[in-house]
Structure 1
Amino acid sequence: MLLLGSLAAAQSPKKSDYLENIALCNGSEHTSLAARIGGCTAFIDSGQGTRTALAIAYNNRGNAHTINGDVDRALLDFDQSIKLDPTYARPFNNRGAAYLRKGEYDLALQALDEAIRLKPNYGRAFVNRAGVYLKKNEYDRAARDYDEAIRLEPNLEAAWSGRCWTRAILGSLQAALEDCNKVLQSWPNDAATHDSRGLIHLKMGQADAAIEDFSSALRVDSRLASALYGRGLARLASGDKAGGDTDISAAKALRAGIDQDFMRYGVRDSN
């Protein structure tokens, strides 16, 4: 959150605008992305902020750009935030998450390692680093980072959901199931967690339960390729060849190589 220490520097007639820009940049309730970006930009351009406040503003604007899908512009803001305050962990974490979205995993790890070095109790950074390890197929390292994130922030949903998926891949099926069930108690419409639980049931040989979970995931996100492919395998296992082939073909059209992904997960198409 932006600091108000430089407020005294603001001229009285402009004070309300100054405060409004801070509120917008901080993302006050129901603030649109455009308004957040505009508020941060106005604050930055005002020349009234301290270096610390400007670092926060650049980080906040970078977050808004990331949510808006403009990852390259977000990275420029995170870089500027870090230049202003190299001890500020958040832009390193957010830079890592942005590089993860771009598929630049080594750069993502560098940024996230630094975020964790600066702030060893940063649960979200451990979750993001686990996400990079998942993309690099380093599942044991991902599991350790999810464990640490949960130890640090027990209510961090992404950590429980991510650990569920990782444990499902590693074959710790009962522990994975417990993680997924915990998430779905509070967030029953979480597509990723239904997808993960579908994989667990598929690996347990419970085809009907797998179909139900994958279908729940697809009701939330109809283009979730892993849920389509998993449901296809479960339908084949249950004797529904037509439905299984349809799902598998649709999944392959959405994501090339998904059959290889599932082989790494310990599941393969029996066709």
Structure 2
Amino acid sequence: MFRARLRSVLGDHSGAADDIARAVPLIPPEAELRVELARYYDYYDQPSEAVRQWELWLSHRPGDADQRMGLNERCWLRARRGMELPLALHDCQRAAALPGSTPAPFDSLGWTQLRIGDLVAAKAAFDASLGMKADHVWSLYGRGLTALKAGDAQAAERDLRAARLLKPAIGTEVREAGFEVPDGVE
């Protein structure tokens, strides 16, 4: 895996992919390397393989804190790519329900609900995230887009402006992550 990382950093993506293909069968399902592999496959536009790596890794994490992170990341992967949205929703809900939750699963849940078109549930999830961290930029922006879609221009402008004050390029980041940002809204 070290050589694959080095090749990737040096721009030899096909060489890195070859090294990874040889290494994957040797890596135990529960190994932390599965997390790195999931992120690698997502980065190199192989989301189905990324999901498979998360599934292998998560199957060995029943109920621990790592499970929350893994469920959230798998939900986020699916939500960003608009794939398997019912499964994304299930992952986010499970992650958010685990004890000691953080804003991240609620944020991911909000984006998943927004992608599905359930504006009431999206707003509730973003509200929950912002209740834990009032300056969570992605949740502010997501809640603003939700309000915009719901026809509440005043709430939309308030949240979108607050998000842009915290991170001026948030609209570009959201669009690059795979979500729709209406023309004229940045």
- Is the structural similarity TM-score above 0.5? yes
Query: Gaps spanning 5+ residues in structure 2: where?
Result: 11-15
Per-residue CA distance 1:45-70 (angstroms, 9 max, x = gap) = xxxxxxxxxxxxxxxxxxxxxxxxxx
User: What corresponds to 1:166 in structure 2?
Assistant: 77
2:155 partner letter: G
1:219 has 2:131 as partner: yes
Identity of aligned residues (%): 28
User: What corresponds to 1:258 in structure 2?
Assistant: 170
2:77 partner letter: T
SS in 1 for 2:160: helix
1:151 has 2:62 as partner: no
- For 1:34-183, what aligned pairs fall within 5 Å after superposition? 106=9, 120-131=28-39, 136=43, 138=45, 140=47, 141-155=49-63, 156-171=67-82, 172-183=84-95
SS in 2 for 1:120: coil
User: What corresponds to 1:14 in structure 2?
Assistant: none
Per-residue CA distance 1:17-46 (angstroms, 9 max, x = gap) = xxxxxxxxxxxxxxxxxxxxxxxxxxxxxx
* Residues 139 and 166 in structure 1, CA contact (< 8 A), matched pair in contact too: no
Query: Gaps spanning 5+ residues in structure 1: where?
Result: 1-91, 97-104
SS in 2 for 1:194: helix
Hey, what's the Cα distance between the residues in 2 that align with 1:119 and 1:239?
Answer: 50
SS in 1 for 2:164: helix
Q: What RMSD in Å do the two structures reach over aligned CA positions? A: 3.2
Hey, what's the Cα distance between the residues in 2 that align with 1:265 and 1:239?
Answer: 22
> Structure with the greater relative contact order (CA < 8 A, sep ≥ 6): 1 or 2?
2
- Whichever of the two has the greater Rg, that structure is 1
Structure 1's 118 and 139: CA in aligned 2 closer, same or farther, altered over 3 A?
Answer: closer
Matched positions, count: 166
TM-score w.r.t. the length of structure 2 is 0.72
User: What corresponds to 1:41 in structure 2?
Assistant: none
